[in-house]
Amino acid sequence: MGISTHILDTTRGRPAKGVTVRLEQLVAGGAVELARGVTNDDGRVKPLLDAIPAAGAYRLHFDVAPYFTALGVEAFYPSVNIDFVVKATHEHYHVPLLLNPFGYATYRGS
């Protein structure tokens, strides 16, 4: 099914457009980049990956510093990494990011 994400800027109550997102598979000795994209007007990059190659650990890396800089907003976190585990490769994994300049939250969506 695949892996997708979206970002909601909770301070502005709007999608975060123009954020570069990188999907990596975590392997012994490091990480392998599988996909990269930029959030659209709706804050979405979907799907980053149409088919999940294997069960295991994955990471979404969000480069949020340029987003906040473009808004003229001082932010504490220049990037956000979300590590998660895929157990069933036939399922869809939607991993949203709720973002503000001084914090973030995530969950497994649908």
State the pLDDT at residue 37: 96
Q: Which of 78, 82, 89, 92 is nearest to 59 (CA)?
A: 82
Residue 1 reports pLDDT greater than 90: no
CA dihedral 67, 30, 54, 3 (to 10 degrees): 0
Size of the chain, expressed as the number of residues it contains: 110
Closest by Cα among 17, 19, 7 to 99: 7
Q: What is the pLDDT of residue 102?
A: 98
Span 2-106 CATH architecture: Sandwich (2.60)
- Interval 29-86: pLDDT, tens: 899 999 999 999 999 997 798 899 999 999 999 999 999 999 999 999 999 999 999 9
Query: Sorting pLDDT into bands at 50, 70 and 90, what band is 103?
Result: very high
If phi > 0 it is left, if psi is from -120 to 50 it is alpha, else beta; for residue 53 that is alpha
pTM of the model: 0.95
